Structure 1
Amino acid sequence: MIAKLKQFLQSHTQESSPEDKQKNLNLAAATLLQEVVYADENLAAAEAALLPEMLINTLGINSEEAITLIEEAKQSRKNATSLFEFTAEINAQFSIDDKQKLLLSMWQLAYSDGELSQYEDQIIRRTADLLHLKHSELIQMRNIAMETR
């Protein structure tokens, strides 16, 4: 038990390269977006089609990287115990504007199938809180998403 704890602590205290940090950040953002997609336990075709586009626009990656990231995020999502492990990574590296952009993407995904489920709404609100965004920012991003759909 102590050996496992030491291994865990060492893996989280080692310095990461800038590439590793960026990969972890992208994975955290992609996993949060997938949380919205799978919140209602129904993957709509519109959501599946929009997810790579949201990753490309939000993270500035290409389509091949987006597809790879989606697969990695599926596994990450399965192993996750809470949203905090992803939002902590984002809080450490994202600016307020980047956080708002991510939140907007979450709202756009939630509305892409034509309806907002209570579970999608709940995950987005919880994520906004964990990202230390104001309620007014949450509402502003939701309104923008509703206007653009």
Structure 2
Amino acid sequence: MIAKLRRFLEAHTQAASPEDKAHQLKLAAASMLLEVVFADDTLSPQEAKLLPKLLTETLSMSQADAQVLIDEAKRVQGNATSLFEFTTAINAEFSLEQKQQLLLAMWQLAYADGQLSQYEDQIIRRTADLLYLKHSELIHMRNIAIETSHTQ
């Protein structure tokens, strides 16, 4: 508890560089994707293959940087207490289109193994609410993910 308070105070008393801020946003987005991956307690081979690809496309980064980010996000995500921690930073900086792309990536991961678990669905819906996305946007992104999963 004291360590969390110290991190919070350090984060809010020091001015973050633009690079640090960008990295924190990418880390938050990667952590959100990991929430979906681990929602059903299994990392399928399809999800493991798709995750770095989605990060490179969604966050415009190299494959090597995506893998480093995934490893870091696994450490951070395991210590998180709620989705709110990640969505707060994303809401502050992401455009509507970026939020939609993140939600689409979450749906694509959820459907990567050919089945949607209730836990994956629940996390994505909760995330959409926390990102202030409309229900119609949630459904539209889901439908795109379903269409692309059938064509692959």
Scaled by the length of structure 1, the TM-score of the pair is 0.95
The equivalent of 2:28 in structure 1 is 28
Counterpart in the other structure of 2:40: 40
CA distance in structure 2 between the partners assigned to 1:7 and 1:77 by the alignment: 15
Q: Please list every run of 5 or more consecutive structure 1 residues that lacks an aligned counterpart in the other structure.
A: none
Letter in 1 for 2:87: T
Relative to structure 1, the CA distance from residue 60 to residue 6 in structure 2 (aligned partners, 3 Å threshold; closer, same or farther) is closer
Structure 2 unaligned runs (5+)?
Answer: none
Work out the percentage of aligned pairs sharing the same amino acid.
66
| CA distance, structure 2, for counterparts of residue 67 and residue 115 of structure 1 | 25
Taking the aligned partners of 1:143 and 1:54, their CA distance within structure 2 comes to: 17
Q: Please state how far the C-alpha of 1:79 moved relative to its aligned partner.
A: 0.9
Matches within 5 A, 1:101-120: 101-120=101-120
| Cα drift, residue 35 of structure 1 | 0.5
Identify the range of structure 1 (133-142 vs 5-14) with the bigger mean alpha-carbon deviation. 5-14
Task: Quickly say closer, same or farther: Cα 1:11–1:146, change in 2 above 3 A.
Answer: same
Pair 1:40–1:2, CA change in 2 (3 A): closer
Give 1:95's aligned residue.
95
For residues 78 and 21 of structure 1, what CA distance do their matches in structure 2 show?
Answer: 21
Q: Please list the CA deviations of residues 19-56 of structure 1 after superposition, one character each: whole Å capped at 9, or x if unmatched.
A: 00000000000000000000000111000000000000
In structure 2, what is the Cα distance between the partners aligned to 1:123 and 1:61? 25
CA-CA distance at 1:87 after TM superposition: 0.4
State the aligned residue count.
Answer: 149
Q: Shift in Å at residue 15 of structure 1?
A: 1.1
Post-superposition shift, 1:4?
7.6
| TM-score, structure 2 normalization | 0.93
Q: What displacement does 1:14 show?
A: 1.9
2:54 alignment counterpart: 54
1:42 alignment partner, SS class:
coil
1:9 deviates by: 2.1
Structure 1 residue 2, shift from structure 2 partner = 8.3
Give the CA RMSD over aligned residues.
1.7
Q: What residue identity is the alignment partner of 1:122? A: Q
Separation in 2, partners of 1:80, 1:2: 15
Q: Structure 1 3/36 Cα, relative in aligned 2: closer, same or farther at 3 Å?
A: closer
